[in-house]
Structure formats: structure tokens, C-alpha cells
Amino acid sequence: MSHDPTFWILARASGLTAYVLLTLSVLAGIVVKSRPFGSRVRQVVAIDTHRTFAALGLGALAIHATALVLDKTVRMPVQALFIPGLSSYRPYSVSIGVLTAELIVIVYASFSLRKRIGFKNWRRLHWATYGLFVGGTAHGLLSGTDSRRTWALAIYLGAIASVAAATTWRTLAPLTEGEQDVPSRYRQ
């Protein structure tokens, strides 16, 4: 009986989809904080976009993990999804993916717990997202079987360039540009 590639294709597609969606969430998060578009993007829209991309990214991540377990191309026991080092397939880079995914879930859940854990701790935890982007990129490039394809490299390079550019903007630009949201007749 021939090997059914459905789950293998789904695992690869959902992995890249999760990477793209979570990258978009990182970018939207930087827009929330540094407001490069001024009043053209309302703050509430930027926040909703940031959270929606994060939720969609987590959904794609869940599909990625489930498809890897159901697929027979690489052997991925359920416990290997949660405990780093149990995957026989590219164990180091898969471990990076496991740890990154677990931290992504923690950062996402921390939004609802931010009053309980304290706002400062919540914001400190959010700084981890830069490391998670690096972790996700490393996991994708080193674990993904499509990484050497031109289109896949274009996705990774596009994500790295956009996050690097947005981070540079955030570093160099003033913290907020809220003045532009104030109606002109009320400006000081």
C-alpha cells in the first residue's frame, strides 16, 4: 500500500502558515507599540490585528503538531510534541520548535492573566517574543524539508527582513505618535 502524503503535506503547510501568521502578529505588535502609521491605523484595530494573528497562528501550530503525529513520514510520538529531545527526526531543531511553541502558548495565555501576574511581568514576558521569532525561524529553516526551496527561503527572508525593519523602527522612532490622533482643533 502506497504511503498517503496527506498529513505530511498538511504538517509542512501548517508549519509555514503558523510561522507567517505569528510573524504577522509580531509585526502588528510592533505597530501597536511604535505606531509607525500614526492615525492611519487606529490603535484598537492594531491591537485586534495583533491578537487575531496570534490566535490564528496558534491554531495553525496545533494543526502542525497534530499532522506530525498522524503522519508516517517522520516518527513523531505525542510526547515528543511536549518534551524536547524525544523526536528522532532532526532532534535538535525539533526541540527548538517544541520549546518555542510552548513559550508562544505561555505568552499568548499571559494576556488573560496579566492582572494576576502583574502588568510589568506581562510586558517583560512579551519581550520573549523576539527570541521566539528567532527560535521559530531557526526551527523552520533547520527542521523544514522545504527550507532549501526558493519560495520557502523567500518566506523566511521576507519575515526576517520585515521584523528586523520594524524592530529598527521601534528602536529609532519616538515611543508613540499619538499626537496625530488628536483632532486638530484640540491640539495644543
Site for another protein in 28-87 (CB under 8 A): 32-33, 39, 42-44, 47
The nearest distance, CB 25 to another protein, in angstroms, is 16
Nearer to another protein, 4 or 181 (CB): 181
Residues 6+ apart with CB under 8 A from 143: 89, 90, 93, 94, 96, 97
Helices (H), 2-127: 6-34, 43-70, 91-112, 114-117, 119-126
Give SS3 for 38: helix
Contact 64, 15 (CB under 8 A): yes
Nearer to another protein, 17 or 49 (CB): 49
Nearer to another protein, 2 or 112 (CB): 112
Closest alpha carbon to 178 in 187, 170, 169? 187
Encoded one letter per residue, x for contact with another protein by CB under 8 A and - for no contact, window 80-119 reads: ----------------------------------xx--xx
Residues in the site for another protein, rule: CB under 8 A? Answer: 32-33, 39, 42-44, 47, 114-115, 118-120, 122-123, 175-176, 178-183, 186-188
